[in-house]
């Protein structure tokens, strides 16, 4: 494996931080572009890693920082936007993808890894999934000589995640938690497996022009997962589903809360199950990590007997990849 010169967008985030650390351990030279160096403090100690203040939405800035790099990795994505028009999603996903592809072509970059989302499609019900689908189309159709690989993860879990920890915070505040779209299905994938998938793709020319769906080994409903969080934390909580009409109203009201615990766009995304139709991790030679093997380490006591199987059986959840 020859050392590569890599530029990472979104390198200070939940996936980006461990990815950058692994790239450095593997002997690569890494440049991280960010508008907020304060968020990159954990990266400062890594050798052969540079952190640059940069507005990644400026084409000239991208071209400048991409020049001389072998690989660009785009991890930028948002789950919510200001307002509800979709313009924030288009800016962060589709518009940025076009700028990244263009800068790669003009700067001589030959390899692009692009982070998308499971069930991304321009016909999807939410701005989030539609603009992720738009970004994928741009990468596929406009990359020219640049060899691309796209990753489509289900919800990603791990220490510091924004999914399991969000529900842990809500459960700490309320004795009962009514859930919109409680039956929505996920195949949560471990952040370490996502990092491993991207690292392996760097060293395999056969994955160029390929899309990899990334899922964990089990499928759960949203209600399963929230009940599991409560059990791991030793909390007795009432978790129950609510009708879609009530859920839509709940999402509308939460749209105005700081951090948007649930937005209208999130609600629409939940109408599409986030489960894999093919095992992308297996294609890359990676055995997926079980949620139960990791979550107790950062949300509760690993020795606690968590009866997750009971929750899953009650909802009829699948234990394999969805073969639709």
Angstrom distance (rounded) from CA 14 to CA 301: 22
Domain assignment of residue 139, given as a range: 5-153
What pLDDT score does 155 carry?
97
Q: Are residues 178 and 134 in the same domain?
A: no
| Torsion sign, CA atoms 185, 188, 189, 191 | positive
- Three-state secondary structure of 39-99: HHHHHCCCCCEEEEECCCCCHHHHHHHHCCCCEEEECCCCCCCCCCCCHHHHHHHHHHHHH
Q: Are residues 37 and 149 in the same domain?
A: yes
Residue 168 lies in a domain: yes
Q: Are residues 141 and 224 in the same domain?
A: no
Angstrom distance (rounded) from CA 205 to CA 300: 41
Q: Are residues 265 and 293 in the same domain?
A: yes
* Number of domains into which the chain is organized: 2
Q: β-pairing, 185-186 with 220-221?
A: antiparallel
Q: Are residues 12 and 149 in the same domain?
A: yes
What pLDDT score does 55 carry?
95
* pLDDT in single tens digits along all 324 residues of the chain: 689 999 999 999 999 999 999 999 999 999 999 988 888 888 999 998 999 999 999 999 999 999 999 999 999 999 999 888 999 999 999 999 999 999 999 999 999 999 999 999 999 999 999 999 999 999 999 999 999 999 999 999 999 999 999 999 999 999 999 999 999 999 999 999 999 999 999 988 899 999 999 999 999 999 999 999 999 999 999 999 999 999 999 999 998 888 788 999 999 999 999 999 999 999 999 999 999 999 999 998 443 443 444 433 333 333 332 222
Helix axes 222-232, 308-315, angle to 10 degrees: 160
What pLDDT score does 318 carry?
32
| Residue 145, number of CB atoms within 10 A of its CB | 9
Structure tokens at 208: 């160029």
Q: Are residues 181 and 70 in the same domain?
A: no
Q: Pick from 28, 197, 234: which is nearest to 113 by CA?
A: 197
What pLDDT score does 319 carry?
32
Structure tokens at 187: 């195949």
Backbone angles phi, psi at 73, to 5 degrees: -120, 120
- pTM value > 0.95: no
- 284 close to 212: Cβ distance less than 8 angstroms: yes
The residue length of the chain stands at 324
Q: Are residues 231 and 149 in the same domain?
A: no
What pLDDT score does 203 carry?
82
Residue 39 lies in a domain: yes
What pLDDT score does 93 carry?
98
| CATH classification at residue 97 | 3.40.50.720
What pLDDT score does 38 carry?
81
What pLDDT score does 37 carry?
83
């Amino acid at each position: 494996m020859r050392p590569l010169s890599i530029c990472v967008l979104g390198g200070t985030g939940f996936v980006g931080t461990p990815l950058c650390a692994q790239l450095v351990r593997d002997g690569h030279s890494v440049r991280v572009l960010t508008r907020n160096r304060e968020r990159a403090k954990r990266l400062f100690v890594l050798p052969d890693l540079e952190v640059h203040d940069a507005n990644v939405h400026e084409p000239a800035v991208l071209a400048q920082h991409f020049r001389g790099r072998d690989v660009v990795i785009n991890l930028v994505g948002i789950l919510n936007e200001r307002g509800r028009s979709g313009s924030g999603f288009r800016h962060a996903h589709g518009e940025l993808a076009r700028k990244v592809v263009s800068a790669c072509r003009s700067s001589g970059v030959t390899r692009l890894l692009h982070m998308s989302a499971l069930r991304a499609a321009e016909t999807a019900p939410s701005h989030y999934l539609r603009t992720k689908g738009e970004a994928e189309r741009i990468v596929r159709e406009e990359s020219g000589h640049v060899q691309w690989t796209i990753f489509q993860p289900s919800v990603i879990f791990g220490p510091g995640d924004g999914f399991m920890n969000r529900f842990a915070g809500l459960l700490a505040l309320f004795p009962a938690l009514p859930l919109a779209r409680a039956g929505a299905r996920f195949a949560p994938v471990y952040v370490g497996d996502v990092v491993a998938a991207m690292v392996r793709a760097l060293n395999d020319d056969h994955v160029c022009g390929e899309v990899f769906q990334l899922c964990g080994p089990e499928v759960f409903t949203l209600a399963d997962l929230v009940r599991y969080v409560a059990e791991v934390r030793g909390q007795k909580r009432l978790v129950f589903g609510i009708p879609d009409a009530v859920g839509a109203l709940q999402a509308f009201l939460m749209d105005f809360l700081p951090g948007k615990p649930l937005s209208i766009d999130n609600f629409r995304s939940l109408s599409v199950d986030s489960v894999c139709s093919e095992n992308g991790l297996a294609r890359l030679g990676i055995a997926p990590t079980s949620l139960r093997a990791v979550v107790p380490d950062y949300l509760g006591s690993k020795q606690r007997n968590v009866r997750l199987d009971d929750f899953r059986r009650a909802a009829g959840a699948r234990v394999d990849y969805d073969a639709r």
